[in-house]
């Protein structure tokens, strides 16, 4: 049975059940944020409607209930990525916040002038700028691992850069948001460690497409955002190995992260609270737990089945349009298709197909260095998820044919 002809999960996403301007919603922008299933929405509503209270404070039922649910999400996330201890799960505002945390705490404290931080040509601005800020503060240098035309990291070049000897830290994405490339994290982590460097993985895209096992990958840090894994905005996760997190200084100060405060000297709370200053995004963390339940219920086997089918169908369909070019043809890639037409500006494409009710992303995808490498100002990107079906792709195809004839 084709899962994309009769998608069994589609009905769980209320956004898709409506018409906008009289048109079916064709949502092809899951790389920017995924839609939310009903159970995640219900959990947010339940907290605000019936269960509001702060966490880690009150000794009354409402607060204990919120705290239990909040902490339960930590267990669920630890299990989802196979962390060895729940204290290795830090709640952040998202991937960007997690990168900044490690840049300002770890890198700023433990790297020094002359040390090198390696990034790849494929990175999202969130996995570039925070390291640049920290590097400027301590006098460290950023170097870039090159990629090939297909959008794959060149491992030989990576090894050469590591062999220079001054690399102390590597940060790469698990999956490229712009091209869909799945990077060989396990191998890259082994190589980094063999050269005495740590590796941070930007898992913003990885978490929803791949079964992540941080112990197997042996990465030192792994970060992701709730809103790209069927959960709410405003919450994300930093996983870090316990010994590293323990030796890192706090990133932000405030309530919850302290042990004893005096004006002379403050001592800090234990992990994970040391890195969670202030009232957290309680409803969002609790609902992130529902998003994890949702992913577990569907399972990565089914996620892969649907996404593989979608990617294959969409790639063939789009390539059948004369003049259309796909950027990113890595052997190992997920259901993201970046494309363009020679001679038509990507923004014109997006504006015209929006009139057909189709949501795709057009722009530099927060990856200007990558666009420079591809030698384009922008690309159009259709990023597909478990709720998309064959009809979505057929409608995209029809709309693109229309755009093309408009410019001929």
Any contact of residue 126 with ligand PLP (CB under 6 A)? Answer: yes
* CB of residue 27 to ligand PLP, shortest distance in Å: 16
Q: Is 114 left (phi over 0), alpha (psi -120 to 50) or beta?
A: left
3-state helix, strand, coil in the chain (%, to 5): 45, 20, 35
Any contact of residue 95 with ligand PLP (CB under 6 A)? Answer: yes
From residue 222 to residue 251, what is the string marking binding to ligand PLP with x (rule CB under 6 A)?
Answer: ---x--x-----------------------
Unique residue bearing structure tokens 């996983």 = 239
Contact window for ligand PLP (CB under 6 A) among 34-42, 202-210, 300-308, 353-361: 202-210
Q: What is the largest CA-CA distance in the chain?
A: 74
Tell me if 328 sits within 8 A of 140, measured CB to CB: no
User: Which whole-number Å values give the CA distances from 82 to 76, 161, 218, 239, in the listed order?
Assistant: 10, 30, 11, 10
Q: Which CB, 105 or 126, lies closer to ligand PLP?
A: 126
Contact window for ligand PLP (CB under 6 A) among 72-80, 94-102, 239-247, 386-394: 94-102
Two structure tokens written together for 309: 């089918």
Per-position DSSP letters for 270-314, written without gaps between them = PTTGGG--SS--HHHHHHHHHHHHHHHHH-HHHHHHHHHHHHHHH
Residues 161-180 that bind ligand PLP (CB under 6 A): 173, 177
Any contact of residue 124 with ligand PLP (CB under 6 A)? Answer: yes
Q: Which CB, 201 or 399, lies closer to ligand PLP?
A: 201
* CB of residue 87 to ligand PLP, shortest distance in Å: 23
* CB of residue 77 to ligand PLP, shortest distance in Å: 15
Q: Which of 98, 323, 51, 340 has the alpha carbon at shortest distance from 220?
A: 98
Assess whether 366 carries a catalytic annotation: yes
Unique residue bearing structure tokens 């894994």 = 229
> How many whole angstroms separate alpha carbon 219 and alpha carbon 198?
8
* CB of residue 403 to ligand PLP, shortest distance in Å: 26
Task: Using CB under 6 A, pick the residue from 37, 76, 83, 94 that binds ligand PLP.
Answer: 94
Q: How many residues belong to the site for ligand PLP (CB under 6 A)?
A: 13
Any contact of residue 205 with ligand PLP (CB under 6 A)? Answer: yes
Using CB under 6 A, list all residues that contact ligand PLP.
94-96, 124, 126-127, 173, 177, 202, 204-205, 225, 228
């Amino acid at each position: 049975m084709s899962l994309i002809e009769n998608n069994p999960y589609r009905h769980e996403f209320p956004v898709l059940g409506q018409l906008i301007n009289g048109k079916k919603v064709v949502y092809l922008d899951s790389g920017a944020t995924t839609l939310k299933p009903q159970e995640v929405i219900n959990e947010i509503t339940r907290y605000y409607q019936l269960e509001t209270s702060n966490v880690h404070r009150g000794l009354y039922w409402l607060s204990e209930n919120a705290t239990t649910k909040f902490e339960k999400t930590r267990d669920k996330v630890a299990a989802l990525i196979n962390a060895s201890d729940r204290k290795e799960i830090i709640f952040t505002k998202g991937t960007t916040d997690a990168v900044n945390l490690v840049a300002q705490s770890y890198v700023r404290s433990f790297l020094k002038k002359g040390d090198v931080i390696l990034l790849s040509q494929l990175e999202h601005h969130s996995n570039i700028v925070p390291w640049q800020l920290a590097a400027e503060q301590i006098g460290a240098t950023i170097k870039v691992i090159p990629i090939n035309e297909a959008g794959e990291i060149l491992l030989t070049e990576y090894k050469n850069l590591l062999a220079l000897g001054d690399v102390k830290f590597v940060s790469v994405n698990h999956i490229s948001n712009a091209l869909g490339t799945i990077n060989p994290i396990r191998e890259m982590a082994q190589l980094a460690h063999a050269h005495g460097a740590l590796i941070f993985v930007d898992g913003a895209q990885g978490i929803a497409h791949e079964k992540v096992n941080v112990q197997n990958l042996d990465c030192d840090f792994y970060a992701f955002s709730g809103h790209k894994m069927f959960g709410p905005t405003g919450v994300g996760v930093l996983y870090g190995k316990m010994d590293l997190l323990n030796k890192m200084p706090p990133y932000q100060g405030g309530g919850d992260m302290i042990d004893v405060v005096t004006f002379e000297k403050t001592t800090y709370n234990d992990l994970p609270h040391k890195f969670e200053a202030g009232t957290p995004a309680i409803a969002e963390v609790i609902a992130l737990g529902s998003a994890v339940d949702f992913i577990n219920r569907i399972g990565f086997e089914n996620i892969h089945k649907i996404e593989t089918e979608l990617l294959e169908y969409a790639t063939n369909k789009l390539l059948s349009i004369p003049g259309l070019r796909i950027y990113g043809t890595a052997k190992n890639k997920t259901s993201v298709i970046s494309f363009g037409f020679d001679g038509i500006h990507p923004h014109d494409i997006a504006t015209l197909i929006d009139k057909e009710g189709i949501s795709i992303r057009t722009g530099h995808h927060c990856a200007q260095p990558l666009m420079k490498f591809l030698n384009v100002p922008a690309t159009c990107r259709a990023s597909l998820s478990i709720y998309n079906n064959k009809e979505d792709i057929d409608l995209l195809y029809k709309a693109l044919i229309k755009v093309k004839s408009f410019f001929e």
